[in-house]
Structure 1
Amino acid sequence: MRKKMGAKLGLVSIMVLSLVTAACSSQNAASGVPEDGKPMPVSIMSMYFTPEPPGADNVIVQEIEKKTNTDLNITWVSPNSYGDKVNVTLASGDIPDLMLVDEPFSAQVRTMVQQGAFWDLTPYIQDYANLANFPAESWINTKQADGNNYGIPRVRPVEGGAFLFLRKDWLDNLNMEVPETTDELYEVLKAFTKDDPDGNGQDDTIGLTGLVNQNNMGSYWAIVSAFTQTTGDWKEVDGKLVNVNLMPEMRDALEWLSKAYAEGLISEDLAVLKESQTKDQLNAGRAGAAVNTVEAAWEPMEANLKSNPDADFLPLVSMNGYVNKDGGFFGMFMIPKTVSEEKMKKLLELMDYGASEEGGTLAGYGLKDVHYTEENGIKMTTEKAKTDIVAQQALGQIFMPYDKYLRAYRAGMPMDIYERNMKIIDEREAISIPDKAIGLYSETNISVGPELAKNIQDMKTKIILGKQSLSDWDNYVEKLKNDSDLQKITDELNQAYTDRQAAQ
C-alpha cells in the first residue's frame, strides 16, 4: 500500500511542477484582470444541494456579476461525486480560479501546497474585513503544516453542531427532568422505550435512534464523547495527543451502549440502519432522541406537530458537562498559482463581498420581496426562490457570511423555538471543547489509518451488539497499545501538533 501511495505522490509532484511552471509563464503573460473596466472572468468549482444547480442565466448569478464586475463561470458538481471530481481536477493541472476543496488535508492537496501550487493567503486576509471576521477557529483549523492558510474557509459556525436532542413533551408526560448526565440519559431512554411516553397504550417507541458506520461510531459518537470528553479519536492529555480507544472512558462508553442495546433502548438494527430510516422514525413519533445539529431538530418537530400540537424536540446543551465545538469550516476555496497576484487579490475582493451581509443575503436568499420576505428579522423564502434556484444550498455554498446563529433557524420555525435555539448556542459556547486533532497530518494514517479505523469500529460494533464481551475489548486494547502502526500514527500526529502550536 505504501508503494502505491509513493507512486501516487510522485505523480502528483510531477504534475505540480508542471502546474507551477505554467503559473510562472501565465503570470508573465497577463494578469488575468481586464484593464478597460470590463468584467473580470472568474472560473469557480463548487457543489450544490438543490435539485438542480443554478444556470449561467440565473438571476442571482447575474446580480452578483453586476455588483462585483465579474463574469462568473461556475462548474457545479453533485456532492455525491464531488471528492472524485476534485481529485481528477487537481490531477489535471487545469484548476479553476476558485476551487472548493472538500478535503483540504488530503495527501494530494498537502503535496501540491508544499510544491507551491496554491497561493499562500496568510499575508492578505487582514486586508479583507469580512473574511478576517471569520471565527479564529475557521482560520486556525484550515492551516497547513507550515502554519499558513492556502484557502478561504467555507465558513461554518463553531457552535450548534450535531449533538443529542430529545422529546421534551415525552419528558413532561413522564414527569422527568432534562438529563444532564449519561446515567440520567439512560433512565430517560429506558422510560421512552418502556413507559408509553406518547400515551397511546402501545409498545411502539424507542429511546434513541441512530446508526454506526463501518469506520466510526456514526450517531453514537455523541454518547462516546460524553464519556471521553472529546470529539474524534484523539484527546490532549498532559500536552500530548492520546488515542481515545486506549482510554478507560471508551470502555465505559461501550459498556453503556451494550447495556442500552441489550435492553432495547437504542436501534436494534444500528449496524445496517440508513439515515433516512432514522428520520422516518423521528418523523413518525416512534423515537425519543437522536443526534443532529440544533436547527435540524425542527424537522421532526414540525412533522409531529401536524398530529400532536405538544410535540417538542429539545437540543441538549451538554452531556456530562461536555459538548463539542466544531471546526468552523466545511472545506475551503483554494486559488492556484496560475492566477496572477493582481487577480488573486480581486478574487479575495469577490469572496469578501460574498462574506458581507449584502453579498451573503443576495447569494443565499436572493432579492427581497421577490425571493424572500422578512418579518421580525426572519427571512421566509417564496415559491419564486424555488423556481429561480435561489438558496443557501446553491450559491450560498460559495458566498456566505459568518453567522454565529446559522444553526439556530430553519424555514418555518416559530420565533420562540428560534430564540430558544439561540440561547442553547450561547450556553454551549461557554463550555464547548474543540477537536485538537483537526487538520493534523500523519503519513502513516493516510496509508493504513482507514483499515485500522475499520477494524477498531468492527470490534466496537460487536461489543455493542453483544457478539463480543468487554473482556474481549480489554484484550483488544492491549494489542492496540503495541500496534506499530498506531504508535507511528500517534508519534506523527503529536509532531504535527507540536509544529502547529509553534507556528501559531
Structure 2
Amino acid sequence: MRSKAVVSGFIVCMLAGGMTAYSIGGASTVQMLNKRSDENGAPAEISIMTEFHTPEPPGPDNPVLKEIEKRTGTKLNIIWVSPNNWDAKQSVALASGDMPDLMKVTDMSNPLMQQMVNQGLFWDLSPYLANYPHLTKYPKSVWDSTKIDGKNYVIPSVRPIEGANFLAVRKDWLEKLHLQMPSTTEELYEVWKAFANEDPDGNGQKDTYGFNMRDWTPLLDNIFNQNNGKWKVRDGSLIDIATEPGTRAMLVFLHRAYTDGLIPRNFPILKMSQAEELATRGKAGFTTDTVLGLWRQIAQPMQEKPDADFLALTSLNGVVMQSQGFIGVYLIPKKVPEEKLRKILSLMDFGASEEGASLAINGIKDVHYKEVDGFKIATNQAGLDNISVSSFGKIFERFDNYLWAYAPGMPKHIYERNKKIIDDRSKVSVPDPSIGLISPTAIQVGSEYNKRIEDMKVRVVIGKESIQAWDLFVDELKKDAQYQKMIVEMNAAYQGKMSKE
C-alpha cells in the first residue's frame, strides 16, 4: 500500500504541472501492448519505450524491425520518443505505472526510478543474466556501476568508453580563415571570434556564431576544471566542481563570448535540436556530439559545400572526458510475467550479439548497405528507413569501443580518422569518479539544487547576475546543510567503492 501511495502522490504532482499519462491512440500502453505469447508459439509481443535521434523514428513496417522480429520470434511495439520531450515522457510513465515491458530511463539517479526499485517494482535481473552470453560480455565496470544495492535491476544501454560527446570544429572554416586547431580555451575563444566576425561561410553577411551552445554544460565545466562529471577527486575526496574556480572561470569566459556576440543570444531557450540546427544549417563553427553524431550534423552543409567537415577535437586544455560506458538503462517492470522476462532478455541478448547489433545499426545487406573490402557503405535506403545507431541502435547494443567512429554513409577515410581520434583520446581521457555512487539526499533534492545552479550559471552568462553574485551563491552552497549532506554521502559512497577495489 505504501508504494501505491507514493506513486499516486507523484502522479498528482505531475498532473498538476499540466502533464498527462502516456498513451497510444487513447488506449494505455499496458492495454494495447502488454500481452504474453500464447501457448501455440505465436510471437511474443513486447512493448519498448525509448528515444530516437534520427530525423524520424522508424515506422512499424520498417524492414529492419520486421527482420529483428523474424529472427527473435517477437512482435515489437516500440514507443519512440523525441529527445525534445524525452525527460517528461519518462517521468509520466514512471509516475503513472503505465509502463511498457521494457523501458529506458536516462539517469541512473532518477529519484522515482530509484524509489520504485527499492519498492520492488522492477525485476532483479541478477539471477538470470548468466544465461545470456552476449549481455555478459558488456564490460564488468559497466555492470558494476549500474548496480543498485549490489543487484542488477537494469540493462545498461551500453556505449563506448571513448569517443563521447565533445567539441568539434568546422575544419573547412579553419582552413579558409588560416586558423590553427585550438588546444586551449583562450585559443578556442579567438577561433570563435573569427568564426563570428570574418564571414567563414562566404555569404557576405555577419550571420555565423563561434559555438551553437549545444549541450554546453557540463561540457565546458569539465574542460575548465579538467575533470569529468560533477565530482572531482582531490586528496582522496570528492569535490563538487560547482564550487571550484574552474567553473567561475568558465562563466567569465562565456559572459565575454555572449557580450561579444560569439554565441546565440537566445541560447537559454534553445532546445538541443534547435542548437544543433545552427550547425546543420552552417551557422555555427563549433558544435558538440559524439564522433559519430558529427556525421549527422554535417550532412546538410555537405550538400551545399562538399568540403564541409566537422572535425572532433582530440582534447582541450589537455583533457577529454571518458564516457561512463552507457547512456541510460533499461528496466523491466515486475508486472511482466517471468516467461516474458526471459523472452525480453533473449531479445536484448540478440541485440548484444554481432549479428543483432549489425542488423540494428547497419540494416540489411544489399538493401541498406553494400560491403566493399570489408567496409560497410550505406545506401540511400538506410537514410530513408532511419537505420542508425541513433534509432534501433538505441535498443540493440553490442559493446564496441569504435561504435562512435562510424555512421551510415561515412566514407572509409573519415572512419579511419575517427578511430585515430578515439585512440588518441584514450591516452589523456579522464573517467568520471562518481559513476555508480548514490547519495540518498541527492535522490530526494539533488535535482532542485542542480536546477538552481544551472539557472544561476545562465543568469551570469547573459549578464542578469554579476560574477560576484555567483561567488555569493557558491558561499551559500558551502553553508547549506542539506547540500553539504549530499557531499558527505557521496564521499561515503566513494570511500566504500574505493575500499572494494
Q: TM-score w.r.t. structure 1 length?
A: 0.81
Q: Structure 1 residues 337, 181: closer, same or farther in 2, change over 3 A?
A: same
Match of 2:299 in 1: 302
Match of 2:29 in 1: none
Q: Which amino acid aligns with 1:166?
A: V
- C-alpha distance in 2 between matches for 1:93 and 1:451: 23
Map 1:208-219 → 2, pairs under 5 A: 208-210=211-213, 218-219=215-216
Q: How far off its partner does 1:276 sit?
A: 4.2
2:238 equivalent to 1:235: no
- C-alpha distance in 2 between matches for 1:86 and 1:205: 35
- C-alpha distance in 2 between matches for 1:82 and 1:196: 36
- C-alpha distance in 2 between matches for 1:62 and 1:299: 25
Q: How far off its partner does 1:421 sit?
A: 1.3
Q: Structure 1 residues 33, 45: closer, same or farther in 2, change over 3 A?
A: closer
Q: Structure 1 residues 384, 134: closer, same or farther in 2, change over 3 A?
A: closer
Q: Which amino acid aligns with 1:168?
A: K
Q: Secondary structure at the match of 2:238?
A: strand
Match of 2:290 in 1: 293
Q: Structure 1 residues 5, 222: closer, same or farther in 2, change over 3 A?
A: farther
- C-alpha distance in 2 between matches for 1:249 and 1:309: 39
Q: How far off its partner does 1:140 sit?
A: 3.0
Map 1:114-153 → 2, pairs under 5 A: 114-122=118-126, 124-144=128-148, 146-153=149-156
Q: Structure 1 residues 383, 229: closer, same or farther in 2, change over 3 A?
A: same
Q: Structure 1 residues 151, 379: closer, same or farther in 2, change over 3 A?
A: farther
Q: How far off its partner does 1:149 sit?
A: 1.6
Contact 1:170-1:198 within 8 A present in 2 as well: yes
Q: How far off its partner does 1:62 sit?
A: 4.6
Q: How far off its partner does 1:317 sit?
A: 0.6
Contact 1:155-1:400 within 8 A present in 2 as well: yes
Match of 1:26 in 2: none
Map 1:72-471 → 2, pairs under 5 A: 72-79=75-82, 97-122=101-126, 124-144=128-148, 146-198=149-201, 202-210=205-213, 218-337=215-334, 344-376=341-373, 377-383=375-381, 386=384, 392-471=389-468
Q: Structure 1 residues 242, 429: closer, same or farther in 2, change over 3 A?
A: same
Gaps of 5+ in 2: 11-35
- C-alpha distance in 1 between matches for 2:307 and 2:58: 38
- C-alpha distance in 1 between matches for 2:98 and 2:305: 55
- C-alpha distance in 2 between matches for 1:207 and 1:435: 28
Q: Secondary structure at the match of 2:114?
A: helix
Gaps of 5+ in 1: 13-31, 212-217
Q: TM-score w.r.t. structure 2 length?
A: 0.81
Q: Structure 1 residues 262, 442: closer, same or farther in 2, change over 3 A?
A: same
Q: Secondary structure at the match of 2:456?
A: helix
Q: Which amino acid aligns with 1:173?
A: K
- C-alpha distance in 1 between matches for 2:50 and 2:186: 42
Match of 2:74 in 1: 71
Q: Structure 1 residues 384, 258: closer, same or farther in 2, change over 3 A?
A: closer
Q: Secondary structure at the match of 1:402?
A: coil
Map 1:5-84 → 2, pairs under 5 A: 8=6, 38=41, 41-47=44-50, 49=52, 51=56, 53-55=58-60, 59-68=63-72, 70-79=73-82
Report Cα offsets for 1:383-418 as digits up to 9, x if no partner: 38846x765555433322223222222232222222
Q: How far off its partner does 1:166 sit?
A: 1.0
Report Cα offsets for 1:65-89 as digits up to 9, x if no partner: 4433x33353524246655655565
Count matched residues.
471
Q: Structure 1 residues 343, 281: closer, same or farther in 2, change over 3 A?
A: closer
Contact 2:51-2:81 within 8 A present in 1 as well: yes
Report Cα offsets for 1:356-409 as digits up to 9, x if no partner: 11122233444322343333412414438846x765555433322223222222
Q: Secondary structure at the match of 2:404?
A: helix
RMSD value over aligned CA atoms? 3.4
Quick one: higher RCO (CA 8 Å, sep 6+), 1 or 2?
A: 1
Q: How far off its partner does 1:315 sit?
A: 0.8
Q: How far off its partner does 1:201 sit?
A: 5.3
- C-alpha distance in 2 between matches for 1:307 and 1:88: 42
**Which structure would you say has the larger Rg?**
1
- C-alpha distance in 2 between matches for 1:91 and 1:201: 52
Q: Structure 1 residues 42, 141: closer, same or farther in 2, change over 3 A?
A: farther
Q: How far off its partner does 1:178 sit?
A: 1.1
Q: Which amino acid aligns with 2:376?
A: I
Contact 2:281-2:301 within 8 A present in 1 as well: yes
Q: Structure 1 residues 62, 328: closer, same or farther in 2, change over 3 A?
A: same
- C-alpha distance in 2 between matches for 1:232 and 1:9: 30
- C-alpha distance in 2 between matches for 1:63 and 1:84: 31
- C-alpha distance in 2 between matches for 1:325 and 1:451: 26
Report Cα offsets for 1:438-472 as digits up to 9, x if no partner: 44333332333333223222322232223333223
- C-alpha distance in 1 between matches for 2:293 and 2:62: 29
